Amino acid sequence: MRRSAIPLTLSIGIWTGTIFPCLFFSISSASGQTIRHAVPDEHPRLLGSLERLQGLATERPEAYQRVVQVARQANADDHAKMISMAIVCAIESDEQLGRLAVQKAMTYINSPIRSGHVTFGHDLARCAIVYDLCYEYWSKDQRAGFHEYMNRTVDANVRSETHVFHNGWYGYKHWGIGLACYATYYENERAQAILRALEQDWLTRAAPALELAGDGGGWAEGYYIHYWLYEWLFFCEAARYCEGVDYYAAAPKFFNNRAIAGMFETYPGIKTYNSRRSVPMGDGGGRTFGGDRDKTLSARCILVNYFYDDPNHQAVHTFNETTPRSSVGVYAYKDFLWRDTSIEKGDINAFKLSHISPGPGYVYARSSWDEDATYFFFKCGDRFTAHQHLDVGHFLIYKYEELAGDGGHYDSFGSSHDVNYHLRSIAHNTILVHDPSETWPNIRAGTVTGNDGGQSHSWPHHNGAVTDPQQWLKEHTLYDIADILAFEDRGEYLYVAGDCTRAYSLDKLEYFTRQIVFLRPGIFVIFDRVCSTNPQFQKTWLLQAMKEPADTGQNMVVTNGEGRLFIQTLLPENPQIKLVKESKLYSYDGNKYLPGRDTGPAPQCRIEISPPEPAKVDYFLHVLTATDAATTSVEKAAFNIDNQTVTVVVGPAEITFTTNEVGGNINMSGRTSIFADRIIAEHK
């Protein structure tokens, strides 16, 4: 399935140092023979040999000429400029270009050492690439200066970005440290020991984190994976070129599925500069165009190259080739390094239409692989880190444009808007249960003043959760807050059920379960069972509408661009419906939490639906239908409720949910099927 299928074994040895005591490890093949090879003693080596790079220039002439243009002519940020200059310098033995690249590197080397939550890893990485690919153009003193800069940066950041569930471990820190170690492997006397410490941290803390919070290829931190994963994969490839070390083998649940999940994490449709927008998950969101889209594409390309003979990854390759070039011109070096058109293309139209990532509790689904497909995302997973939101049970619906979206703006980490609206349940498509006496601890680094009635978390510190898997497992009762109970995709329909109960204070909630049936191509039936500890606690069903709906009571219509969402509220009967919009959108509980900046198109109306009278147990039943904007009406759904079941008839289906437990059945074309009671991951 992959180019080098090599499980990890540990070979114990001790290095005693002032900063990095560590265990050495080797990588062995299935036969038990060690296949780690010696790091080449010549330069370049980070991206393979000089012959390999020159071969790529011949094989990929169009991409290489764009790299040359960036290196010699284009205005570019230092990162793109230095990497492009180094590549061209090595391939063409261009002394002038090499010396200019070294001069740029020296501006970092001669600057004050950076530490903490800053991109010191990026600084190290770009300097390391110039060091390796332009090695002969560094003077002896310049090389010694880079060694000192590298060592001092490492020492200054021993305690920086140590939370492996948080983005910093990979993107801010270790990729740059690792590249610097391989670049200076024989010249810097500390390089090998620092690298072995990185490897050990990977084996014992980081890889287990990916297996736990990234099982299935999604990542519990959400959108931030699009910012850090590419850099880490860059280092993983350098480790394979330099030493034959396969970092992917230590986290197969994540890496075997990441490119597939990454493909499902993009909305249908090709947008700005021939790019694809990733779905919003937690902080970030990518509402406006940015370089993270190119990093996401390149990350998928790297993994496709690795799993080149796997049919699933060949389908991802076909998907990648629909947007074959980096959308930011100065990132041409990414296309040159990672876009391999020789890989066999798979049949994307025959590929599965949904994917589940159990680690973060994500379900992704589409109606087809056409660019006008209906898209669906559902989240019901555990807590690991601060970039997550209080959004268990949240879903997204997209047709041409976002229709049911993700509320608020990530104006800054820990701002009043951030901690009182943006990451709170009120900004998501989930349920509120309002206990007037409930209070929240401070979230992140911000002060909470609003009672939104939503989910709660005992925030131990500003990073939100735990440092590593060992601590997570030890304290799992605090963080194991939700479960996907069932998942199946039968082609005509997809069914998912989630238990969202533990995400809320148990002082106010006995249970909240959500069941969703996606009837392709565009009908969603959502059934929620909610039981509060006190019947007086008001329950509210939320939908974040991207545009203000046409208000027709229990049947509303949201139109955004070419897409339209029809909303039918079947339960509760005679509901109280409130549209919160315009100047009141970011207000609740008597307070206003305006964002400090606009981060791009966000929901313009919050739809709140509540029962007409208080009760201990309430059921919410909605039928949402995604269509094109030219559609003027959809079939009205019919329903019936008795003591034990709720039945809804819509489109080609009759769907029955049980009210005393999670479950039910569906009848289509005269055939009745009982809903799954477990996760069935394979597409049927």
490-523 confidence digits (pLDDT tens): 999 999 999 999 999 999 999 999 999 999 999 9
Residues 440 and 299 in one domain: no
50-59 helix and 78-92 helix, angle to the nearest 10 degrees? 100
φ, ψ for residue 95, nearest 5 deg:
-65, -45
In a domain, 35, yes or no: yes
Residue 1 has pLDDT above 60, yes or no: no
DSSP class of 217: S
Q: Give the number of C-alpha atoms closer than 13 A to the C-alpha of residue 529, restricted to the C-beta side.
A: 18
Residues 400 and 454 in one domain: yes
The dihedral built from the CA positions of residue 96, 100, 106 and 108, taken in this order, carries a sign that is negative
In a domain, 679, yes or no: no
Amino acid (1-letter code) at residue 271: K
Residues 318 and 364 in one domain: no
Residues 162 and 262 in one domain: yes
- Which residue, of 325, 350, 375, is where some domain finishes? 350
The reported pLDDT for the residue numbered 682 is 58
- Which residue, of 350, 384, 405, is where some domain finishes? 350
In a domain, 286, yes or no: yes
In a domain, 262, yes or no: yes
In a domain, 504, yes or no: yes
**Comparing 24-33, 361-370, 443-452, 529-538, which segment has the lowest mean pLDDT?**
24-33
Residues 345 and 386 in one domain: no
The reported pLDDT for the residue numbered 553 is 78
SS3 letters for 249-278?
HHCHHHHHHHHHHHHHCECCCCCHHHCCCE
Per-residue pLDDT averaged across 532-536, rounded?
A: 98
Share of residues in the chain with pLDDT > 70 (%): 94
Q: For the sheet with 617-628, list strands across it.
A: 483-489, 493-499, 509-519, 523-532, 617-628, 563-571, 555-560
Residue 23 has pLDDT above 70, yes or no: no
Residues 332 and 367 in one domain: no
Per-residue pLDDT averaged across 2-23, rounded?
A: 32
Q: Please, what is the average pLDDT of the chain?
A: 93
Q: How far apart (Å, rounded) are the C-alpha atoms in residues 194 and 128? A: 15
End-to-end CA distance of the chain: 22
The dihedral built from the CA positions of residue 187, 192, 193 and 194, taken in this order, carries a sign that is positive
CATH number, domain containing residue 181:
1.50.10.100
In a domain, 3, yes or no: no
The dihedral built from the CA positions of residue 481, 542, 576 and 555, taken in this order, carries a sign that is negative
Residues 291 and 358 in one domain: no
Amino acid (1-letter code) at residue 500: C
Residue 669's domain spans which residues?
354-674
The reported pLDDT for the residue numbered 21 is 30
SS3 letters for 378-415?
EECCCCCCCCCCCCCCCEEEEECEEEECCCCCCCCCCC
Residues 330 and 392 in one domain: no
> Is residue 474 exposed (0-12), middle (13-18) or buried (19+ Cβ within 10 Å)?
exposed
In a domain, 629, yes or no: yes
Amino acid (1-letter code) at residue 141: D
- Which residue, of 320, 350, 380, is where some domain finishes? 350
Residues 468 and 333 in one domain: no
Residues 326 and 381 in one domain: no
Structure token pair of residue 529:
């069972």
Residues 140 and 256 in one domain: yes
CATH number, domain containing residue 466:
2.70.98.70
Structure token pair of residue 645:
């079941």
In a domain, 543, yes or no: yes
**Residue 89: partners with Cβ closer than 8 Å, 6 or more residues away:** 71, 95, 97, 98, 101, 133, 134, 137
φ, ψ for residue 506, nearest 5 deg:
-70, -10
Residue burial 585-599, b: 16+ Cβ < 10 Å; e: rest: bbebeeebbebeeeb
> What's the structural domain count of the chain?
2
Residue 487 has pLDDT above 80, yes or no: yes
Residues 279 and 365 in one domain: no
Q: How far apart (Å, rounded) are the C-alpha atoms in residues 403 and 409? A: 17
Distances (CA, A) of 602 to 183, 405, 410, 422, 581: 44, 7, 11, 11, 12
